[in-house]
Amino acid sequence: MIDPTDRGQFLNLAGLVEGGLVGVAFILGWFAGISPLEQLTLSIDALLWGILGAVPLFVLFLIFNRYPIGPFKKIKDFLFEEMGPSLAVCRWYDLVLLAMLAGIGEEMVFRGVLFPWIGSGGYWVGLIGSSLLFGLAHPVTPTYAVIATVIGVYLGWLMSLTPQPNLTTPIVTHAVYDFLAFWCVASSFRRKVVAEASDSIDSDNLDLPG
């Protein structure tokens, strides 16, 4: 049984899952005859587009986190209740590592292999097909899966912003966005714990005899 407040257990499990996707990417790539790193080139342009690409995603995250209307409340509750305890015990550099693993592993699978593999039938077939699979891989709620699909399309589109399609851009966007979202969830959960502890102390003081 995994203890969600055990930093070591959480990091080991998350690292195994997200890091394992790198292996999955190479296995899929071998089967499809596609190198997951074929379109990966380090360049200033790709890095800058990757950082800028995370801005609109994070702005939308802040809006829906602040105003969780309808199905978005269920998503917020999941992130807070299921992910909050684990993220809150992590150091900032843990969150950086987790975000990097998620960005690299998931992008290698979905944009590095599946996009060009499915895209043998055409650019839009590859973009939509790989994005649908990306959404299905995030079945937190039906709404979350739809959002992930749209984000998949966005990440696939980001690859085309450089002269040559570059996997670096969606990797950076994915990693930067995940880190910021992880940080927000962790900070919110920590504030809740502190507030509850303060309320408990105040309540105990009220029970003391005068």
pLDDT in tens, the chain (210 residues): 678 788 999 999 999 998 899 999 999 999 999 999 999 999 999 999 999 999 999 999 999 989 988 889 999 998 899 899 999 999 999 999 999 999 999 999 999 999 999 998 899 999 999 999 999 999 889 999 999 999 999 999 999 998 889 999 999 999 999 999 999 999 999 988 777 766 565 555 555 555
SS3 assignment, position 102: helix
Sign of the four-CA dihedral 76, 77, 80, 83: negative
Quote the crossing angle between the two packed helices 92-107 and 7-32, to the nearest 10°: 20
Query: Quick count: other Cβ atoms within 10 Å of Cβ 82?
Result: 13
What is the value of pTM for the model shown? 0.90
Quote the crossing angle between the two packed helices 44-66 and 168-207, to the nearest 10°: 30
> At a CB cut-off of 8 Å and minimum separation 6, what does 34 contact?
28, 112, 113, 116, 117
